[in-house]
Amino acid sequence: MNQYEHLFVRSEKEFRFYQNLVDHVFDQNKRLPQQVFRKNFDCFLFQEFEWALSDDILPTIKDLLNSTSDREFLTAVLKPDPVDYYFKEFGYYNWLKASVNISGEDYVNAL
């Protein structure tokens, strides 16, 4: 196990919990430019995929976490399939659960 694998969702129960949250917010049958949210949000931000996979996104994530008093965030990749492909191949889900205190270097290395 590498030093970052502990950041990934490993149990089916935990995965199902987060899957329900994601399904509550997003309609995974829709693609941009369609309405991908299940309900209207007054504020949201779309960025290039590469930005989400770099440490440049962390200040924005940390600002959002501070605004909501959350201590963790989830980076969830929907394709390839987290169950049928990723868990089957690697034994954990390709969903990263990180603390507000994660460093940019650790975030990028985990991804």
Domain hosting residue 59, numbered range: 5-27+46-110
Q: How many domains does the chain have?
A: 1
87 assigned to some structural domain: yes
Q: What is the pLDDT of residues 38-66, one digit of tens each?
A: 988 777 777 787 888 888 999 999 999 99
Which residue type, as a one-letter code, is found at position 21?
L
72 assigned to some structural domain: yes
Mean pLDDT by 10 residues, the chain (111 residues): 86 96 92 88 78 88 93 91 94 94 93 87
37 assigned to some structural domain: no
For the chain, the average pLDDT equals 90
86 assigned to some structural domain: yes
Residues sharing a CB contact under 8 Å with residue 5, sequence separation 6 or more, in sequence order: 92
68 assigned to some structural domain: yes
Joined together, the tokens standing for residue 3 give: 């030093």
53 assigned to some structural domain: yes
Residues in the chain: 111
